[in-house]
């Protein structure tokens, strides 16, 4: 009987994506048969601007049995409780997309429905006050939730870190668990003339590297998936028109806040990601509306501290591969697609790809139906995230540039229009199959960007006005009491990361 097990896995490209894949595969394919080899070239380098994450990253670290405190210390990380959006709906306006949830559902009815009822009566405090993570973030606090009986799903967090240090951390992990790294540049790729499968790679050094399964983490160059396997790119720039970013680190001028900030500007938006010893900054913009030099000058003029390097321009296209996995070639990271850093989803998409690869791990027969299922699931994830990002651009009242007017007037995917229309009526919002973003996330952005439902769920009228006032007041007090007990994030970091 022929042994059909995958023996040689070749990962092309390092960076955060490549070493995430290598670390995860080495953790779960730890045996004497399967060999994992990662090929990367120091002369090529990596993009390395993805310094913010979302809560599922914690499950990735747990899956690898990585100690959180050690990870935070080694990557100069901070904690992240959400994203603050400044000037997105209109100049002078701000709101938070929090992690965790608003309030607590009451008798199975989403909390925001009760809030909408009180808002219609003119009695509701801002919905942000019902978010534990928002209140803690704005006060610069971080710690454990200790209130008795307090809903634990109020509290969720992610990390902000130096992406180059994360890649180095995961490289150390992967090499310790058996991954072999090869320094080298791929100059040629050989295909099997009969099956069309990848057979081997030729390195600049002259070495030939054979493999059974090839994972393309080569970034925007997409060396295997596009240049060799000829898988086309599905362009989404008609909905997400920004196509460049300029990035620069700066000195910290205050204790780091536990949230990322996104500030809308005429040609795009600026990110601010506070780390332990510096701040990450970038300007994501549409190149047809501003030059690279102008964008760099704008970013430098808006820094809160002194720049620590020269600005670096990074061109990109928003969209995804039409298929992520074809034959014995699978794309991860930027080789698979890019949806701009607005909601910090780049690293999560790698995490999702890894989880689905492990669930559908192939043998040398490379089952077409299993590959098709992987592609179906990943396509749905990309499209759900795409819709969530478009929502931010579509719902705006800005009139200071052609970019924002275009975004406000553009036609959007039917899937997103349906979600907006459903919410605009009675605040209905549902989480569909494997949707990354929770109901709280959708509600936060739709309310924050200006959709005010005309009604609410009739079921909430079963509770008297006084009863509801009492319930909401108890929630508010529970949130405030928990935040009062928390140390500042800086004190928490100093305690956890000596």
pLDDT surpasses 60 at 49: no
**Measuring CA to CA, how many Å separate 98 from each of 81, 161, 307?**
6, 19, 29
Residue of 260, 231, 267 whose CA lies nearest to 246 = 267
Instruction: Name the 3-class secondary structure at 151.
Output: coil
pLDDT surpasses 90 at 47: no
Least confident of 44-48, 219-223, 411-415, 479-483: 44-48
pLDDT in tens, 94-104: 999 999 999 99
**Measuring CA to CA, how many Å separate 498 from each of 74, 76, 192, 490, 494?**
11, 12, 54, 12, 6
- Residue 186, in any domain of the structure: yes
pLDDT surpasses 70 at 357: yes
pLDDT in tens, 102-131: 999 988 899 999 999 999 999 899 999 999
- Residue 375, in any domain of the structure: yes
Query: Which member of 35, 80, 364, 419 is catalytic?
Result: 80
What percent of the chain has a predicted confidence (pLDDT) above 90?
90
- Residue 92, in any domain of the structure: no
- Give the model's pLDDT for residue 1: 60
**Measuring CA to CA, how many Å separate 219 from each of 11, 225, 337?**
12, 11, 9
pLDDT surpasses 60 at 346: yes
Is 80 among the residues known to form the active site?
yes
DSSP 8-state symbol, 312: E
- Residue 427, in any domain of the structure: no
Look over the chain and give the mean of its residue pLDDT values, rounded to a whole number. Answer: 94
Q: What's the pTM value of the predicted model, to 2 decimals?
A: 0.95
Residue of 55, 48, 281, 251 whose CA lies nearest to 168 = 48
**What is the span of the domain harbouring residue 228?**
8-77+161-233+318-379
Instruction: For tokens 């120091």, name the residue.
Output: 42
- Give the model's pLDDT for residue 144: 79
- Residue 277, in any domain of the structure: no
pLDDT in tens, 234-255: 999 999 999 999 999 999 999 9
Q: Which pLDDT band, with edges at 50, 70 and 90, does 83 fall under?
A: very high
- Give the model's pLDDT for residue 338: 96
- Residue 349, in any domain of the structure: yes
Q: Residue 167 sits in a domain of what CATH number?
A: 3.50.50.60
Asked if 219 and 18 touch (Cβ cutoff 8 Å), the reply is: no
- Give the model's pLDDT for residue 432: 83
pLDDT surpasses 80 at 26: yes
- Give the model's pLDDT for residue 30: 81
Asked if 338 and 223 touch (Cβ cutoff 8 Å), the reply is: no
- Give the model's pLDDT for residue 397: 95
In whole angstroms, give the CA distance from residue 127 to residue 378: 33
- Residue 169, in any domain of the structure: yes
Instruction: For tokens 């991860």, name the residue.
Output: 332
Counted domains in the chain: 1
pLDDT surpasses 70 at 91: yes
- Give the model's pLDDT for residue 288: 95
In degrees rounded to 5, what are phi and psi of residue 112? -65, -20
Residue of 451, 390, 444 whose CA lies nearest to 424 = 451
- Residue 53, in any domain of the structure: yes
pLDDT in tens, 378-434: 999 999 999 999 999 999 999 999 999 999 999 999 999 999 999 999 999 998 877
pLDDT in tens, 135-159: 999 999 998 776 555 566 688 999 9
């Amino acid at each position: 009987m022929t042994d059909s097990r995958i023996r040689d896995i070749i990962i092309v490209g390092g960076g955060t994506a490549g070493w995430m894949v290598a670390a995860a595969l080495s953790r779960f394919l730890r045996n004497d048969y399967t060999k994992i080899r990662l090929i990367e070239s120091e002369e090529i380098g990596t993009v390395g601007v993805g310094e913010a994450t979302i809560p599922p990253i914690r499950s990735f670290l747990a899956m690898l049995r990585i100690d959180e405190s050690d990870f935070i210390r080694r990557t100069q990380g901070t904690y992240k409780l959400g994203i603050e959006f400044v000037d997105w709906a209109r100049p002078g306006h701000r709101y938070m997309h929090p992690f965790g949830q608003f309030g607590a559902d009451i008798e199975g009815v989403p909390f925001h429905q009760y809030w909408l009822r009180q808002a219609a009566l003119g009695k509701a405090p801002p919905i942000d006050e019902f978010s534990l993570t928002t209140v803690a973030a704005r006060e610069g606090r971080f710690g454990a939730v200790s209130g008795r009986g307090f809903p634990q799903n109020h509290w969720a967090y992610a990390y902000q870190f130096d992406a180059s240090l994360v890649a180095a951390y995961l490289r150390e992990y992967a090499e310790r668990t058996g991954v072999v790294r090869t320094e080298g540049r791929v100059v040629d790729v050989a295909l099997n003339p009969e099956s069309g499968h990848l057979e081997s790679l030729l390195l600049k050094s002259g070495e030939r590297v054979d493999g059974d399964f090839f994972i393309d983490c080569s970034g925007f160059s997409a060396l295997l998936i596009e240049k060799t396997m000829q898988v086309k790119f599905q362009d989404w720039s008609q909905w997400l028109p920004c196509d460049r970013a300029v990035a620069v680190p700066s000195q910290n001028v205050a204790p780091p806040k536990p949230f990322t900030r996104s500030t809308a500007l005429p040609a795009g938006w600026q990110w601010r990601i506070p780390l332990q010893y510096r701040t990450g900054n970038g300007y994501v913009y549409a190149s047809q509306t501003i030059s690279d030099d102008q964008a760099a000058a704008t970013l430098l003029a808006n820094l809160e501290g002194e720049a620590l390097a020269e600005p670096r321009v990074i061109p990109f296209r928003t969209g995804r591969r039409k298929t992520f996995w074809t034959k014995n070639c699978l794309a991860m990271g930027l080789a698979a697609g890019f949806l701009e850093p607005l909601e910090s989803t780049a690293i999560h998409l790698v995490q999702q790809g890894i989880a689905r690869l492990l669930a559908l791990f192939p043998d040398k027969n490379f089952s077409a139906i299993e590959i098709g299922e992987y592609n179906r699931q990943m396509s749905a994830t990309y499209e759900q995230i795409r819709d969530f990002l478009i929502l931010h651009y579509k719902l705006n009242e800005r009139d200071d540039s052609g970019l924002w007017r275009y975004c406000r007037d553009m036609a959007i995917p039917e899937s997103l229009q349906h979600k907006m229309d459903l919410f605009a009526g009675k605040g209905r919002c549902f989480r569909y199959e494997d949707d990354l973003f929770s109901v709280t996330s959708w509600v936060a952005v739709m309310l924050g960007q200006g959709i005010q439902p005309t009604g609410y769920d009739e079921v909430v009228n079963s509770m008297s006005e006084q009863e509801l006032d009492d319930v909401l007041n108890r929630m508010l007090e529970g949130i405030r009491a928990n935040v009062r007990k928390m140390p500042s994030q800086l004190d928490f970091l100093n305690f956890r990361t000596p």
